[in-house]
Each structure stands twice: as structure tokens, then as C-alpha cells.
Amino acid sequence: MRALTICLLLASVCTGAAIVRPAAAGQDKPWLNSALSADERADLLLKDMTPSEKLSLLRGRIGFSLEGTGAPHGAIGSAGFVPGIPRLGIPSLQETDAGLGIANPLGVRPGDVATPLPSGLATAASFDPSVAYDGGAMIGRQAWRKGFNVLLAGGVNLARDPRNGRNFEYFGEDPLLAGTMDGEAIRGIQDQHVISTVKHFVLNDQETGRYYANAVIGEAAMRESDLLAFEIAIERGRPGSVMCSYNLINGSYGCGNAHLLNDVLKGDWHFPGWVMSDWGAVHDVRDAAGGLDQESAGDMRPEAGFFGKRLDAALADGTVPAARLNDMVRRILRSMFAVGLFEHPPVVSPVNYEADSAIAQRAAEEGIVLLKNSNRLLPLTGREKRIAIIGGFAENGVLSGGGSSQVLPAGGPYIANSLGGKGLAAIFRKVIYDPSSPAKAIGDHAPNAELRFADGRYPSEAVKLAAWADVVIVFAEQWMGEGLDAPDLTLPSGQDALIAAVTQGNPKTIVVLETGGPVLMPWLAQAAAVVEAWYPGVKGGEAIANVLFGAVNPSGHLPMTFPADLKQNPRPILPGSDGVFPDLPGGGAVKPFDVVYSEGSDVGYRGIAKRSLVPLFPFGYGLSYTTFGLTNLMVTGGQSLTVDFDVTNTGTVAGKAVPQVYLIAKTGAPVSRLIGFSKVALEAGQTRHVRLTADPRLVADFDAQTKNWRVQDGSYEIMVGYSAGDVALKARTSLTARTLAP
């Protein structure tokens, strides 16, 4: 607290960022002229830098004391720190995780808490870009007020495997949805003068053996899937930095992958910012030639620290082209100017946690997905007499996901249980509940009901309680975290058996899931209602209760397919799952292993359609307490594909529809591809018109030979529906051939 007060008085000292006053923009520091473009300013500044000053910006450190090494001077305590250059007014980079809020790793900033957003999947499930923007803006603001100017956010790896321990941080399996939502989150962050990353570039799609996994995939398939998600996110969000990933892609590590960094990112996409490595992901000084601009956490592994003396020598002897030095530095400076780090340095100042938690609550409410609602059991009326609440620590709080994105929540004491382990694994294996009790919030909606709670450890006890109740709400949870994948899709600790037993005790059972992603539901036929609440964030309990009682009409839709069985996954056995891997990258003599993405760009629902499988719940699925109708479909072709239709609320309460447009056939061949979506708020009886124009890349194929997108001449069939598995209306049009730059 004391430190915070002092910081308030001496903001510039605390942030480690020299506050640059416009008056300083004299002739001696022409780069401070904010009327110039970011490129011009970077060029001007570069001219005044000595070679060692340039080099000093290229190597980051952990921003706190690592095993007694002492924190770097000026670091405020976070994942990363790059010292600034006071002589030139270059602020330090104070880098903090992550996309779900401001982390406080190992509690290095004692007592500092933040507002956890719901998981990225929850935000994606909102299908509402404004939810992603608002969440980004909220965490960007908090970052800035805590003294940070870089947020290690923007995770957009595609969910190719429902077992991936980090799916909860990301935005699902579809490049259009994920790229759009991620881009908006990044835009929200950067509008606060905090640089955002987009990460982890690329195909870091499983955590098992993540330092050794070699993603094997063809060029066209990659461009049409994982790379497209990044491309869209970068176009929309213009992140200052791209964080390259731990894994290898087609035999070359993400952080030295010249094809992906030089040819695709900086070449084809003209990305003007800088590439920073993931923590400890640099393997060789030659990664600088491969397109890496900055080594993060160069002190994390003793054998690392490539971008210091070793880079200097490599630049001198030509191992790394000498011109790279200026290019690397210019990219960093350019982003700092573009996002406003010189003009708007962070000012450590109080955070309004109450107001910010409302933003997190809205995100949760927009993203909760109603999966089943037999006999309209939901919404509850509030007139129930006896409500049984079972399991999921629902008296105490709501679950969050583990790893570097973990936020220590504001708003009251939270519960943290360690799952054990050693080293990094131990740090990441902490199960934290945000202090928002669903049981309490349920009680607030049903003031006259008697609420009883069973912790769910003993099915026999839970069944008895269920039999007593008018209605039963079972909370089931699946904790996921960075660095480890789920071995299967069951609910852990016998919860599937618990739910099955409870539904026998009382068929009026509502199951609320707090999961990192898809799970199997062997009890689905017996449960009356199922609500997917994801990790719902700091006001998750209130959000869940608002949905259960109809104060919020659910409008979330699945951003991932919920498979009926792991056999529906292209890799039923997770590659590397029988391996034992060191805790840190680069350690040991472990050989990389292949993860063959044989499905190519047919990720998730696209593969499901291609293989004519029936999932448990399709991508895009989600129910409402009202009903919707789609009419008047018109599709126009030619140079681009535009879809027009009307959506009507045909029920009796206000609600939000999420009509989705899919390409279902292209020049005679069946496909399945989301090409547009919209979230439409409608009063009962109201109709609104929707027009969507498809991004041409979504109807094109990537030609790996010519390195172009090609739209083929011919007939295109689209459908509008409420999920990938639900055709409401179909129409056809013709498109003329077109070639687009990559």
C-alpha cells in the first residue's frame, strides 16, 4: 500500500518511464514531434542512438527477482522488462500478462489484484466484437494505471484440440470469429496507450510438449486457418508486437522461422511492428536473421541471453546481416510511437474495480451458452420454495484457468488450491476461484426460497438433497491451465457420476458447467437444462444467476465444437502424451516430435462437416428464452459475396439472435465455412435487417504455388442459420474469378 502511495506521487519514477513533456520536442529531440508519423519518428530517433543503446532494447528480462538474481533496476514486477534509455527519453517496456486481466506472478507485487475477465472462450461465445473491445479497453486501462505499457495479450491460437490446456485463453476454432474478437480486444488495449501483443505465432495448438512439438502442416492449409486468424487479428487490432511461439512449425522453431516471420508476417502482411519471443523461446542468435527482433526473458535460461554480446558478435561477423540491427530497433520504436508510449506514459493511479467488474460481468452474461432447456425449466421464476445447489464450490466462487494468464482477483478474498508439482508446473498448477458466489447470487433472485448446499463429494448425500428440492442446480467444473492438456474430456473427480446420480434423485436438474472448453456429457439425456458458463470471471456468480433467472436472456453461442467423442478429433491420441518433457524450453536432450495436422484447414466444425460426423453440440450453437425467425434471404455475387436477410424475434421476451452465414458449397463441392455473423438485439416481435459482406479470403483458396488467394469462377451456395449444424435458409450466387495478394 505504502509503495502505491509513493508511486502516486512519483509516477514517472514508479513506471520507469520518463514522462516526456511536449515542450521537450525541441530541435535536439526532433522525434518527440508528435505531428510526424511513427515511422518518421522512429527513423529520427534511430539516428541518435549508439550501437550499444540499440542493442540494449533487444533483450528483455524477467521483471522480478528470479531465484535470487535481484529484480532489474526500474522493473515494477511482472513477466517482462526492457530498460529504457533516459538520455533519449525512451521509456522502459514494463510488460505484463495477459489477455484476461493483469497478472501478478507469484504475488511479486504484494497485495496487487486486478479484474479478471471471463475466459477468452466466453468472450468469443458472445459473438459480439464490442464485448471483446470493452474487455480489452478495461484491462488496458488497468495495465496503464498499474504502470505497464505492454500487455502480453492477444492469444489467438486456434482450438484444434479440445484438450488444449490454453484453449480458455483463446477465441475458439474459427479464424473469422477468433481473429475478429482478438483484433477488437487488441484495439481496446492499445487505445489506452498500452502496446498489445498477438500470440503465440503460430500453431502453438497444444500444451503437451509445447517446447518440442513440431506442427506439420501444408502452406495453403496454414494460411487458410491458423495464419488467417492472426492475419485478421493483426489487421483489426494493429498490435505493436507479435509474440512468436515455443513450438516448431514444419521443422523450424517459431522464433527463428524465417518463412513465417520474414516471408509471411513481415513480407506478405507488411507487419511494421516487432517480433518478441515467448519466454525462453530463443534457441540461437541466428533467430535474428530468421525474423526475431527481441529476445524476451533473456535471463530465464542460463544458456540463453542470445541477444546481447552474442548478437553483437553475430552482427559484426555477418552471421546476422548488419542491417538487421536498425530494423529490429526501428520496429520496436515505431510501435512505441504508434501506440503513444512517449506522449502517454502510464501514470500509477487508483483503479475503479467496481466499475471494471461490471464490464467483466457483461462479457460473462453475453458469453454464457444455454445448451439445453427441456420443458422450459429455465428461466427460474424466483418463486421456487426449495433450491438445492450441489458441487463446484458454488458457495464460494467461480473457477478460473491457470498459468501466466491467471489474475489474482479484486473484490474479496479468493480461494487458491495448489495441485502440486515442481518448478514452473507448480506455479501454474494453482486452482483459483474468483470471489463471486453463484449460490449467494441465486439466493438474491429467490429471496423466499430455502437454499441448501451439498459440496458434491458424496453422490449419496447429493441425491438425498436433490430429492428434497423443487429444483436442483449442479455446478460442475474442469480446471485447465497453461503447460498441460486435459488427458480426456470427462469432468474430473467423478463429477459425471455425481450429475448422473443427482438427475436420478430429481429430474428437474440444471447443470452449470465451468469448464476450460468442451467436455463430454454422458448424463445429457437425463439433465433438464445445461448452461455452459466457461470461466466466468470476477462477477461470474452474478452473471450465472442472472441467466438462470432470466434477468439476462442467454445469447452466447459455442466458439468450439463440442464433440460427441474424442474419436471425432483428428488425433484421438494426443501427440506427445506419453512423453516426459523438461519444465523449461531448451533443457535436456529431448528430440522434437511431430504433431501432424492432417485435417489441414478443416479445423473443428469444418472437419466435422467433411467427415459427416454428428457432434454433441455444433459450433455456433446456443439457445435463448425467446425464438427467432430468419426470412428474406438474398445473396449477391459478382466481385464479392453479400448476404441480406431479416431476423425477427418471434417469441415473447426481448433477446439477442446470432445469425451465422456459412459457405456450404463452392463451385459444386461441399464445404463448411463461417463467412459472417452478427449479434442482433431484438424486442419481442421486432424485425431487423442484416447485411454481411464476406471477406474474400473466406471464399477463396490459398494457392501455395503463386502465393495468392484465388476466388474461383462459379457457383457458391450459402446458408444462414443459428449454428454450423442448423440450416435455416439457403441461397446460391455466382462469383467471378479474382486473385488477391496474400
Q: Which residues, including other chains, have CB under 8 Å from residue 625's CB and lie 6 or more apart?
A: 370, 373, 378, 379, 550, 553, 554, 651, 653, 655
Q: Which is nearer to ligand BGC, 3 or 425 (CB)?
A: 425
Closest separation in Å from C-beta 168 to ligand BGC: 13
Q: Which is nearer to ligand BGC, 305 or 556 (CB)?
A: 305
Distances (CA, A) of 281 to 318, 402, 545: 23, 20, 42
Chain residues that interact with ligand BGC, rule: CB under 6 A: 79, 97-98, 152, 199-200, 278-279, 404
Closest separation in Å from C-beta 79 to ligand BGC: 4
Closest separation in Å from C-beta 211 to ligand BGC: 10
Closest separation in Å from C-beta 404 to ligand BGC: 4
Q: Which is nearer to ligand BGC, 109 or 362 (CB)?
A: 109
Closest separation in Å from C-beta 538 to ligand BGC: 21
Closest separation in Å from C-beta 303 to ligand BGC: 17
User: Residue 232 is inside which H or E element, if any?
Assistant: helix 226-237
Q: Are strands 241-244 and 274-277 parallel, antiparallel or unpaired?
A: parallel
Which single residue is written with the C-alpha cell 438427475?
503
Q: Is 278 a catalytic residue?
A: yes
- DSSP code, position 484: B
Q: Which is nearer to ligand BGC, 200 or 679 (CB)?
A: 200
Q: Which is nearer to ligand BGC, 79 or 511 (CB)?
A: 79
The pair phi, psi for residue 537, each rounded to 5°, is 85, -170
Q: What is the rounded CA–CA span in Å between residue 373 and residue 554? A: 11
Cell numbers that stand for 29 in this block:
529531440
Q: Which is nearer to ligand BGC, 75 or 98 (CB)?
A: 98
From the list 97, 112, 134, 278, the catalytic residue is: 278
Q: Which is nearer to ligand BGC, 81 or 127 (CB)?
A: 81
Q: Which residues, including other chains, have CB under 8 Å from residue 635's CB and lie 6 or more apart?
A: 641, 642, 643, 644, 718, 731, 732, 733
Q: Which is nearer to ligand BGC, 199 or 557 (CB)?
A: 199
Q: What is the rounded CA–CA span in Å between residue 439 and residue 195? A: 39
Q: Are 606 and 597 in contact (CB under 8 A)?
A: no
Q: Which is nearer to ligand BGC, 204 or 555 (CB)?
A: 204
Q: Which residues, including other chains, have CB under 8 Å from residue 659's CB and lie 6 or more apart?
A: 628, 630, 645, 647, 677, 678, 680, 690, 720, 721, 722, 728
Closest separation in Å from C-beta 72 to ligand BGC: 15
Q: Which is nearer to ligand BGC, 97 or 134 (CB)?
A: 97
Q: Are 393 and 438 in contact (CB under 8 A)?
A: no
Q: What is the rounded CA–CA span in Å between residue 403 and residue 400? A: 10
Closest separation in Å from C-beta 384 to ligand BGC: 43
Closest separation in Å from C-beta 483 to ligand BGC: 8
How big, in percent rounded to 5, are the helix, strand and coil portions of the chain?
30, 25, 45
Closest separation in Å from C-beta 245 to ligand BGC: 8
Q: What is the rounded CA–CA span in Å between residue 70 and residue 53? A: 22
Closest separation in Å from C-beta 197 to ligand BGC: 8
Q: Are 248 and 215 in contact (CB under 8 A)?
A: yes
Instruction: Find, among 311, 186, 305, 296, the residue nearest to 246 by Cα.
Output: 296
Q: Tell which phi-psi region holds residue 480, choosing left (phi > 0), alpha (psi between -120 and 50) or beta.
A: beta
Instruction: Find, among 659, 84, 612, the residue nearest to 332 by Cα.
Output: 84
Q: Which is nearer to ligand BGC, 356 or 482 (CB)?
A: 482
Q: What is the DSSP string of 133-197?
A: HHHHHHHHHHHHHTT-SEEE--B------TT-TTGGGS--S-HHHHHHHHHHHHHHHHTTT-EEE
* Cis upstream peptide for 585 (omega within 30°): no
Which single residue is written with the C-alpha cell 536498425?
326
Cell numbers that stand for 633 in this block:
434471404
The pair phi, psi for residue 465, each rounded to 5°, is -65, -40
Q: Are 638 and 736 in contact (CB under 8 A)?
A: yes
Helix/strand number for the chain, H first, E second: 20, 31
User: Residue 734 is inside which H or E element, if any?
Assistant: strand 726-735
Encode burial over 62-95: b for 16+ CB neighbours within 10 A, e otherwise: bbbeeeeeebbebbbbbbbbbbbbeebbbbbbbb
- Diameter of the chain measured on Cα atoms: 80
Q: What is the rounded CA–CA span in Å between residue 602 and residue 379? A: 37
Q: Which is nearer to ligand BGC, 98 or 410 (CB)?
A: 98
Which single residue is written with the C-alpha cell 446470432?
658
Q: What is the DSSP string of 311-368?
A: HHHHHHTTSS-THHHHHHHHHHHHHHHHHTTTTS--------HHHHHHHHHHHHHHH-
Closest separation in Å from C-beta 160 to ligand BGC: 17
CB atoms within 10 A of CB 190: 25
List residues bridging with 450 in a β-sheet: 386
Closest separation in Å from C-beta 242 to ligand BGC: 12
Q: Which is nearer to ligand BGC, 215 or 394 (CB)?
A: 215
* Residues identified as active-site: 278
